Amino acid sequence: MAEQLSTEKHDMILGAARKRFAYYGFSKVTMDEIAADVGMGKASLYYYFPTKDSLYHEVIKHEAEQFFSGINSMLTEKIPACKMFRSYAGKRLEHFKTLVNLRALSLQQSAETKASSLELFKDFHKHEVEILQHILQIGKKNGEFSVSNPQQTAEVILQMFYGSRAWFLKIKENSLDEEAYVEMESSMKSMIEIIINGITIRK
Amino acid sequence: MAEQLSTEKHDMILGAARKRFAYYGFSKVTMDEIAADVGMGKASLYYYFPTKDSLYHEVIKHEAEQFFSGINSMLTEKIPACKMFRSYAGKRLEHFKTLVNLRALSLQQSAETKASSLELFKDFHKHEVEILQHILQIGKKNGEFSVSNPQQTAEVILQMFYGSRAWFLKIKENSLDEEAYVEMESSMKSMIEIIINGITIRK
DNA sequence: CATACGACTGTTTCAGTTAAACAGTCGAAA
DNA sequence: TTTCGACTGTTTAACTGAAACAGTCGTATG
């Protein structure tokens, strides 16, 4: 029971932090604000999380878990690799729309990113490469895809995806309104088609 | 004769500026330094170029001209569109290696870019989209490429290219050594293959 | 013992100040 | 026409002091 309450508090803090970090970004949010959001004193937060950084990292890990759980459930289905890829790419778009902290970290300049956070991002990326590589290997194995090096191809595809997001941020001067977002989604969809055509064996 | 000397001076200043901007970046270079490089007083530079910004813009325009002239000579050749695309992509890689100021501008965050320079970059980009669109249309016309909207596809392809560069900058924390550059080139080459396969009609 | 926090500390950030650096100007000289 | 010394106003960078902030610890409470 006490353990349950402790976990609830932990999750409440995590949730409050997640909201504030998503809205204001890590550096603009104070521990006092998060504490007030959950009705506690600041010092009490440190009972649950040793540092502000570790709180942020847990927010990121939490969002990464949501990202991967939304995608993993799909990996065991017996569907063509082509369809799996489409499904993955579509879910990726959705998740990056809602998982704000994860998205922000992925697009943040390395000059603005603490080493520890950049490492966290690299881990996330590595995990995503593995998933995409897995999809490519399935396609290769059942004769759908022509991919000589699935790992490198996975890396390249993720670079392409990154390109669209980073590009729109640059061109729209960091202000992605709804219209720009729709435009970016449209670009992404065309990109996905080119990629699928580019790796698919045609008969 | 005096006109010729004036043009020489103009070009000398442009060359000195280009070197310094390439090495130190626009903001770290002073007009005094450029003046010293060409053996003039700072005030004399303003006889040839009204402002530091306009000097920089001319450096960029100059590099853009070099970029496009290296590519345009290829556009009139009677070769398959597929081969033209490869040639264009290869030349693009080369040019971005040597045209340092243009490359820096293309990769610079919009927050760090003056509005006037960002506009200049957008113009450059627009021009490149036109060239790539032209290649795609040639391929479409002679039955090589399946591209429903050449203009959008050109935009998407350039986003993909941007992705690789921006990605490596992020991951290598703005320190692209020779090794990382080679890795990026390798990624680009894989990307080019996927793109070509992705737009090519196969029989 | 687990949980909470008031009072506190040392560090970082921020706002303001000042001096230096810098882009740009202009009158005068060659 | 071309050059530049001397100058100006603005911007940048360094500095300072105060406030803000992350984090700590002793103590209180259930």
- pLDDT tens digits for A108-149? 988 889 999 999 999 999 999 999 999 999 999 999 999 999
A198 interaction partners in chain B (CB closer than 8 Å) = 193-199
A174 and A79: one domain?
yes
pLDDT at B45: 95
* Candidate from A155, A163, A173 with C-beta closest to B166: A163
A190 interaction partners in chain B (CB closer than 8 Å) = 149, 152-153, 156
Binary contact (B156, A166; C-beta < 8 A) = no
The verdict on A118 touching B (C-beta cutoff 8 Å) is yes
B4 and B92: one domain?
no
Which CATH number goes with the domain that contains A63? Answer: 1.10.357.10
pLDDT at A173: 85
B33 and B63: one domain?
no
- Do residues A162 and B167 lie in contact, with contact meaning Cβ atoms separated by under 8 Å? yes
Q: Mark which of B26, B49, B72 sits at the end of a domain.
A: B49
pLDDT at A76: 87
- Alpha-carbon gap, residue A194 to A158, rounded angstroms: 14
pLDDT at A175: 83
Distance A129 CA to D23 C1' (A): 37
A156 and A66: one domain?
yes
Q: Encode pLDDT of A11-40 as tens digits.
A: 999 999 999 999 999 999 999 999 999 999
pLDDT at B122: 96
- Alpha-carbon gap, residue A143 to B28, rounded angstroms: 55
pLDDT band at A160 (very low <50, low <70, confident <90, very high): very high
Residues whose CB is below 7 A of strand C: A 2-3, 5-6, 9, 40-44, 47-48; B 29-32, 42-43, 46, 50-53
B41 and B61: one domain?
no
pLDDT band at B74 (very low <50, low <70, confident <90, very high): confident
Domain of A134, in residue numbers: 59-199
B103 and B23: one domain?
no
Q: Mark which of B33, B49, B65 sits at the end of a domain.
A: B49
A124 and A143: one domain?
yes
Binary contact (B109, A110; C-beta < 8 A) = no
pLDDT at B33: 94
Residue A54 lies in a domain: no
**Total domain count, chain B:** 2
B110 interaction partners in chain A (CB closer than 8 Å) = 169-174
A30 and A71: one domain?
no
Binary contact (B156, A187; C-beta < 8 A) = yes
A116 and A166: one domain?
yes
Q: Rounded to the nearest 5°, which phi and psi values hold at A109? A: -65, 145
A52 touches strand D (CB under 7 A): yes
pLDDT band at A170 (very low <50, low <70, confident <90, very high): very high
A82 and A170: one domain?
yes
CB atoms within 10 A of CB A7: 11
What letters, b where the CB count within 10 A reaches 16 and e where it falls short, cover B168-186?
bbbbbeeebeeeeeebbee
Rounded to an integer, what is the distance from CA B119 to the centroid of its chain?
Answer: 14
Residue A14 lies in a domain: yes
pLDDT at B197: 95
pLDDT at B73: 86
Is the pLDDT at A2 greater than 70? The verdict is no
- Do residues A64 and A124 lie in contact, with contact meaning Cβ atoms separated by under 8 Å? yes
Nearest residue of B to residue A202, measured between CA atoms? B202
pLDDT at A176: 86
Residue A113 lies in a domain: yes
A158 and A85: one domain?
yes
A43 and A10: one domain?
yes
Which CATH number goes with the domain that contains A18? Answer: 1.10.10.60
